[in-house]
Amino acid sequence: MSVTIGLKGEASDMVSRETTAKAAGSGSLLVYGTPYLVALMEKAACTALEPFLEEGQSSVGTRLDVHHDSATPVGMEVRAEAEVTAVEGRKITFRVSAWDEKGPIGGGTHERFLIRTESFLQKTYDKI
């Protein structure tokens, strides 16, 4: 089985004081922080790919173009969806979307590359 266009993954998060813009240092308000929204979108993409990864394989995020259009207060749930829109060799492109309990809050595109974990980490740690 391989990754195909239309494949979807989902993830959700309950907004808490620890996942606010204030906690992330990306703002001063107690609303869902954009860094957490981005991480949730990446998690949805990882969830989509997970069943297709071979032993010793993982994926890494390489590009995000995200808009965060509506604030979500502490106590509300946020959910994200990632849908594969292109597969080019090891590069997988997703359309990402997010909603809270009242409606859409953001979206965009995300790219991930399939990698061999051991060689990726070796190359990374060779930097030091």
What residue numbers bound the domain in which 25 lies?
A: 8-125
Q: 42 catalytic, yes or no?
A: yes
Catalytic site residue 110? no
Q: Could you please report the per-residue DSSP string of 58-90?
A: EEEEEEEEEEE-S--BTT-EEEEEEEEEEEETT
Q: Which of 19, 42, 72, 81 is catalytic?
A: 42
Confidence check: pLDDT of 18 > 70: yes
In a domain, 1, yes or no: no
The question of whether 34 is a catalytic residue gets the answer yes
In whole angstroms, what is the distance from residue 58 CA to residue 55 CA?
Answer: 9
Please state, for a pLDDT cut of 90, what percent of the chain lies above it. 98
Domain with residue 51: its CATH number is 3.10.129.10
| Per-residue model confidence (pLDDT) at position 55 | 95
Give the count of domains, the chain: 1
Q: Which two tokens stand for residue 37?
A: 């929204």
Q: How confident is the model at residue 81 (pLDDT cuts 50, 70, 90)?
A: very high
Q: Mean per-residue pLDDT for 50-75?
A: 97
Residue 3, domain member (yes or no): no
